[in-house]
Structure 1
Amino acid sequence: MKLLAAFLALLAAAIPATAAEPVRLSADDALQQDAASYATAFGLTGDEALLRLRQQRASIAVTERLRVRFADRLASIRIVHRPSWGVVVTLAGTDVPPDTVEQSDGLPIPVGFIGGAGSTRAAALRLLDAERGRLPGLVPGYRGAGVDPASGGLVVMQRLSVDPRPQAEVERDLTATLGLPVRVRRLDAVMSDSAAIGGGRVVGPNSEGRLFRCTTGFVVKNASGQLGITTAAHCPDTLNWRGPDGEERLLPMLGSWGAAQNDIQINGGVGLAEPLLFSDTGKTSVRPVTSWATRPMTRVGDWLCLRGESSGYACSEVELTDFAPAGQLCGGLCTNSWVTLRGPRCKSGDSGAPIFLGSVAYGTLKGGAYLPDGGCAFSYYQSVDYLPEGWRVLTVR
């Protein structure tokens, strides 16, 4: 834990208790902070946690090559953390290559292969797209569906205690009806949208005149050089930014996109904004944004973090990369382009929160599945590659 302890001591010494100006972390320091969360979650030393997150970043190049090589047989590519870190490729068919260790950015990337998947990801995506309108009628208490990384079929979310049939019976019936393997995940949760720099507080009146709180995501820039900042499309149109030092700034809406694969709004009035995110719950430090990762580059098992106005700073694993939320949450039916996280937290006010690892932008939070005790069954976000046409995430030069 020497490296981690030294980093935390340095950060603590750099932040006076009464500081109004957040400390600026480097890209390396930002990854160190996320490694601290990873170390706690998996019981590792700080050095081992940091190595694994660097391997996660470096492995993207490896998994992109594997995705192309096995395109016709691919069920899933996952990142696993136990008993050791590595990449697992699940394939349809029984012809399986031997496990190997690739090299990327000077780091070893262990790759294991599993055969016998009941479907491919491509087939499951076609089925999900074709049947998403029928699934609510087939599954009482339907809460959405995605591609199951274990089988290449579907995983269907179902409200607990709504369907009297045993779970195994529901899975058998759906598998027979749809023609692909189906796993049912039952949860006592309600799907809902989670109700200047990234990860900050903005408030505005809703249609009923009541104040509604959201979280800013990333500073963005369009082709003409105009700057804006993202939040969720279901947030109020005109927002008031409130910084930790008491600064207030009116942010008029530049555009809103809230259908199918989008829940994104861009507000202007940000001034000479920089590509920064609040990096911790208390807003005592900020991290830079140096690049972004697309949805195809995101794998099940990736360790990602968020900074929400209500939840603060939290991290967890990617659960599904091809998820279609239930209901009319996307101005109608949602596409299967949403990414889910195992929690980490989902609270009202987190809408639009940035999803990141280190200094890399991944997406903006839409909502989650809320448990009766206030917990979070899972949350889901829009990847940055679905930003409106002409807009891109602003990064440090």
Structure 2
Amino acid sequence: MRAYIETMTLTAILRLHLLWFAVLVAHPAAGQLVQTREAALIQDAGEYARQYGVPAIEALRRLRAQRDSVAATDALAERHRSRLAGISVQHRPDYRYVVYLTGDHPIPATQIRVGGMTVPIVFRTGAKANRDRVIWAMTYHQAAIRAALPGAPSMGLDPRTGELVVIVGNAIAAADGGATAIDARLEKLTGVPVQVRLLERTDRNLDLHGGGRLDGINPDDGKRYRCTTGYAVSDGARSGITTAAHCLDNMTYYDPQRRATPLSFVGQWGWGYHDVQIHAGAAPERPLIYSDTARLIARPVEMQRSKLSTRAGDFVCHRGESSGYSCAEIELLDFAPAGDLCGGACLPTWVTVAGPNCKGGDSGGPVFSGTTAFGVVKGASYRRDGTCAFYFYMSLDYLPAPWGLLVDSGPDAASASRPGEILTAPF
């Protein structure tokens, strides 16, 4: 009964937070609702609770732990770097962090007190190659892997298994001896463990607040194209807004009331590991992103998550102009999409997030958790029936210098992340 009351209480609070409760304050410039850090996490926790079937208050604890545990898992990664195959977040049957290592020397389990809960950290051994070796093999042999198959595959590192994942269609696998035969051949080529995944899909790019609408007319075909704004940025002298480099150069920003603001194109970076362009505009009063489908609620951007600190299983959300607001798990790190989407082959620097919510027009939109910024959406992999298998984003680590993310410096931002306390030493 107590757990039921606790769950219902937070559910009620969740609804109030997302509508008109006091943690949403009117933005003086736009008269809109701006979330506090806690309200932003509560919104995302609602999605987490729905997807994993846990009480809303447990979902909130887990997302707090995800936010505040980065320093602790970074320290573990550095401590075990020579053996590290990957670190991942486990959501079922319980919430824990899993550190996968090469060799057979065991490491005792430990735990961390973070986000108001105690999270187990377990160590698995037996990985055939460490993370650095798999990434090097993927980078060095990417052209050879593409040449060895009748169709260009996408590929990436799965930190849960320590394997180089190569994604091919059923027809390619059947014509090339099946998944097992391709596994064996690519393992011999790369010298690292390979897992072939069968997926009939097509990788393609997805055709002032982040998560807003951009429209433009392509002079080559006269058609109107749509993209999504990402984050407010600055080069120290100018302010701007990001979107994807494969969007049109001349775009107009539309606010929720459909008022148009033409943007000034600064530049685009769209090769290898980049897919970002920047449009200049007036300096924003606060760096905000829309965090709901209807663009009625915004949240501040308070900090940035680096790619190196990102873990498989991290629960992140994105807001696209076509698909709206949705959340899912990070799946593959160091991902290279199929085809020539980066002015040629893409480098293995992208990060994938599970579907099923992505559509054309989401390009450039923000990927975030709470008030932490992760990246900007580049493209997606679609199944044959047109549904979204996963989308992939560019980490904000790759913003072109001297441009950098603008973050909110209000009083609520001072304690945006608190390091976890290791309760037992993992030696």
TM-score (norm 2): 0.89
Distance 2:363 2:72 in 1: 33
CA distance in 2 between partners of 1:63 and 1:134 (Å): 34
**Would you say the 8 A contact 2:137–2:191 is kept in 1?**
no
CA distance in 1, matches of 2:112, 2:55: 24
Partner of 1:201: 213
User: C-alpha separation between the residues in 2 aligned to 1:374 and 1:326?
Assistant: 17
Which residue identity lines up with residue 157 of structure 1 in the other structure?
A: I
The corresponding residue for 1:98 is 108
Give the C-alpha shift of residue 106 in structure 1.
Answer: 5.8
CA distance in structure 2 between the partners assigned to 1:271 and 1:209 by the alignment: 32
Asked if 1:157 is matched to 2:164, the reply is no
Which residue of the partner structure matches residue 255 of structure 2?
A: 243
Cross-structure match for 1:310 = 322
- Which residue of structure 1 lines up, in the alignment, with residue 351 of structure 2? 339
Is residue 142–residue 159 contact of structure 1 (8 Å, CA) maintained in 2?
Answer: no
Matched, 1:9 2:1: no
Q: Is the 8 A contact 1:88 1:112 kept in 2?
A: yes
Partners of 1:319 and 1:67 lie apart in 2 by 18
Task: Look up the SS of the partner of 1:337 in the other structure.
Answer: coil
State how far apart, in whole Å, the 1-side matches of 2:312 and 2:356 are.
Answer: 15
Aligned letter for 2:261? Answer: R
Counterpart-to-counterpart distance in 2, 1:12 and 1:217? 24
2:400 corresponds in structure 1 to: 388
Cα pair 2:263 2:280 within 8 Å, conserved: yes
Is residue 167 from structure 1 mapped to residue 179 from structure 2 by the alignment? yes
Alpha-carbon distance between aligned partners in 2 of 1:78 and 1:10, rounded to the nearest angstrom: 30
In 1: Cα distance, 2:216 partner to 2:241 partner: 15
Amino acid at match of 2:337: P
Is residue 158–residue 333 contact of structure 2 (8 Å, CA) maintained in 1? no
Residue in 2 aligned with 1:54? 64
How far is the alpha carbon of 1:339 from its aligned partner? 0.4
Q: Look up the equivalent residue of 2:9 and give its one-letter code.
A: K
The change in CA–CA distance for 1:139 and 1:21 in structure 2 (over 3 A counts) is farther
Task: Please state how far the C-alpha of 1:270 moved relative to its aligned partner.
Answer: 4.1
Matched, 1:221 2:234: yes
Q: Distance in 2 between matches of 1:193 and 1:155?
A: 21
Superposition map of 1:213-362 within 5 A: 213-224=226-237, 226-362=238-374
Preserved CA contact (<8 Å) 2:160 2:312? no
Distance 1:10 1:219 in 2: 25
Q: Distance in 2 between matches of 1:367 and 1:105?
A: 32
Letter in 2 for 1:278: Y
**TM-score, with length taken from structure 1:** 0.95
In 1, Cα distance between equivalents of 2:96 and 2:404? 31
Instruction: Give, in whole Å, the separation in 1 of the partners of 2:161 and 2:19.
Output: 46
Return the alpha-carbon distance in structure 2 between the equivalents of residues 236 and 66 of structure 1. 43
CA distance in 1, matches of 2:158, 2:371: 29
Paired with 2:281 and 2:406, the residues of 1 have a C-alpha distance of 16
SS at match of 1:50: helix
Q: Is the CA contact 2:61–2:115 (under 8 Å) kept in the aligned structure 1?
A: no
Is 1:88 matched up with 2:98? yes
Change (3 A) 1:30 1:167: same
Kindly provide the amino acid, as one letter, of the partner of residue 292 in structure 2: D
- Determine if contact 1:140/1:162 at 8 Å carries over to the other structure: yes
Q: Distance in 1 between matches of 2:158 and 2:288?
A: 35
Shift of 1:302: 0.2
Paired position in structure 1 for 2:152: 142
Assess if the C-alpha contact under 8 Å between 2:17 and 2:42 holds in 1.
no
Partner AA of 2:348 in structure 1: N
Structure 2: runs of 5 or more not aligned? 1-7, 410-427
User: For residue 40 of structure 2, what is the aligned residue in structure 1?
Assistant: 30
Shift in Å, 1:105: 6.0
Structure 1 residue 96, shift from structure 2 partner? 1.7
Whole-Å separation in 1 of the counterparts to 2:300 and 2:97: 28
Alpha-carbon distance, 1:269 to partner: 2.4
User: d(CA) in 2 for partners of 1:107 and 1:194?
Assistant: 38
Task: Give the C-alpha shift of residue 346 in structure 1.
Answer: 1.9
Partner of 1:73: 83
The 1:367–1:134 alpha-carbon spacing in structure 2 relative to 1, beyond 3 Å, is: same
CA distance in 1, matches of 2:79, 2:18: 44
What is the CA RMSD across the aligned residues, in angstroms?
1.7
- What code does the residue aligned with 1:86 have? R
Question: 1:105, 1:35 → 2: CA distance?
Answer: 13
The residue that corresponds to 1:363 in the other structure is 375
Q: How many residues align?
A: 393
Distance 1:155 1:299 in 2: 16
Equivalent residue number for residue 378 of structure 1: 390
Q: Does 1:180 align with 2:192?
A: yes
Equivalent position SS for 1:229: strand
Work out whether residues 197 and 273 of structure 1, in 8 Å CA contact, stay in contact via their aligned partners in 2: no
In structure 2, distance between residues paired with 1:245 and 1:367 = 27
Counterparts of 1:316 and 1:88 in 2: how far apart (Å)?
19
Q: CA deviation at 1:189?
A: 0.9
Secondary structure in structure 1 of the residue aligned to 2:120: strand
